[in-house]
Structure formats: structure tokens, C-alpha cells
């Protein structure tokens, strides 16, 4: 049986971030942040374990970093809710997060939880599990995955599998 303790989930998520090249650091955060215990500093995800409310929020914020254009990723600081992002980025991040949960693997509800998705988490997970995705066309446009197997060559990966995790 999988160990779903906070410590084990944190280890699984940070190991995944190490594998895909998203920088993070454990440190005290002395100001209020949009997501408790998380902040971005020069493209690095800062994590305050004492203030972190949901361990899965780490993966969601990492998705925002991963989808940023490389020319601005390392200069980003502060909270992402104050940064200009192209329309649809939040939907693409949710799709990225779903794929990451499948790849790690951890239960999707660890990241897509009702506290962060205006009470729609169960519906989002159910729809994704049934193959009714949103945000995937943006990931496909970025070359990170493919949406429909029927139009692809046999060697191409289909969502939730990813060709790469960090935008090039």
C-alpha cells in the first residue's frame, strides 16, 4: 500500500521537481502569500513547510513555473497571481498538474482539491479521468504532449504522457 503521509508526498513531489529541473528551496517565508507557504523568487519555488497548507499546491505552482516562457522564467519573483499570463494558462497548468500526478504517481486529489478549485475539484478529476480534458490543447501547442492518438504517428506520446515537462 502506498504511504500517503505528508512527508512521503512531499518527497515524491520534490523528487519529481528534481527530475524535471524545477528549482525549489525550503526556507521561511515571512510574508503572507497567495498560497500559504509558497512563493517564487527568481524562478525558484520557495517552500515554507510550517506554513504550507496543502502539499499538492507545490506541484500546482511548479506547473505555473514550468509553463512560463524560458526567457522570463528565471526572472519571475513574487506571487503568480500578480503576473501577466496568457489566457488559458491556468487551464493548461491544471492539465499539466493532472499529468504530473499520473507520472509521479500520486492521487490527483492531493493537488486538485476543493480548497483551491472553487468546489469543482471532484468534477475536474472525474472529467479528466474520463478523457474530457481542458488545457491540453495549450500543452499540445507548446509541443509538450498530444491530445488525440488517432491523428498521431505511433511513436508520439498522448496526454497524460508528456514529451517534456518544462517549456522550451
For the chain, the 3-state helix, strand and coil shares in percent, each to the nearest 5, are: 40, 5, 50
Beta strands in the chain (DSSP E): 24-26, 38-41, 44-47
Q: Are 114 and 121 in contact (CB under 8 A)?
A: yes
Write the pLDDT tens digit of every residue in 13-67.
999 999 999 999 999 999 988 899 999 998 899 999 999 999 999 999 999 999 9
Residue closest to 110 by CA, chosen among 166, 53, 32: 53
pLDDT-based confidence at residue 2 (cuts at 50, 70, 90): low
**What pLDDT sits at residue 150?**
55
pLDDT-based confidence at residue 139 (cuts at 50, 70, 90): very high
3-class DSSP state of 45: strand
Give how far Cα 29 sits from Cα of 9, 53, 63, 98, Å. Answer: 21, 13, 20, 27
pLDDT-based confidence at residue 1 (cuts at 50, 70, 90): very low
- Is pLDDT above 60 for 144? yes
**What pLDDT sits at residue 85?**
60
**What pLDDT sits at residue 117?**
86
DSSP 8-state secondary structure symbol assigned to residue 149 = G
**What pLDDT sits at residue 70?**
87
pTM of the model as a whole: 0.91
Checking phi first, is residue 43 left (phi over 0); if not, alpha (psi -120 to 50) or beta? left
Location of C-alpha cell 472529467: 127
Q: Are 26 and 45 in contact (CB under 8 A)?
A: no
User: Per this entry, what is the length of the chain?
Assistant: 168
- Is pLDDT above 80 for 149? no
∠ at Cα 84 (78, 85), nearest 5°? 110
Residue 80 has which C-alpha cell? 503568480
Write the pLDDT tens digit of every residue in 70-124.
888 888 777 655 555 656 788 999 999 999 999 999 999 999 998 888 889 999 9
Amino acid at each position: 500500500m502506498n504511504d500517503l503521509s505528508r512527508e512521503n508526498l512531499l518527497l515524491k513531489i520534490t523528487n519529481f521537481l528534481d527530475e524535471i529541473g524545477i528549482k525549489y528551496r525550503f526556507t521561511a517565508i515571512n510574508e503572507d502569500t497567495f498560497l500559504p507557504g509558497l512563493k517564487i523568487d527568481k524562478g525558484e519555488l520557495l517552500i515554507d513547510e510550517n506554513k504550507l497548507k496543502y502539499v499538492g499546491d507545490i506541484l500546482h505552482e511548479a506547473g505555473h513555473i514550468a509553463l512560463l516562457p524560458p526567457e522570463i522564467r528565471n526572472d519571475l519573483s513574487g506571487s503568480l497571481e500578480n503576473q501577466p499570463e496568457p489566457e488559458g494558462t491556468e487551464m493548461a497548468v491544471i492539465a499539466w498538474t493532472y499529468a504530473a500526478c499520473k507520472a509521479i504517481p500520486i492521487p490527483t486529489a492531493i493537488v486538485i482539491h476543493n480548497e483551491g478549485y472553487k468546489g469543482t475539484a471532484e468534477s475536474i478529476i472525474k472529467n479528466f479521468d474520463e478523457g474530457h480534458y481542458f488545457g491540453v490543447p495549450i500543452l499540445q501547442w507548446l509541443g509538450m504532449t498530444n491530445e488525440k492518438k488517432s491523428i498521431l504517428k505511433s511513436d508520439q506520446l498522448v496526454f497524460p504522457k508528456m514529451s517534456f515537462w518544462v517549456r522550451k
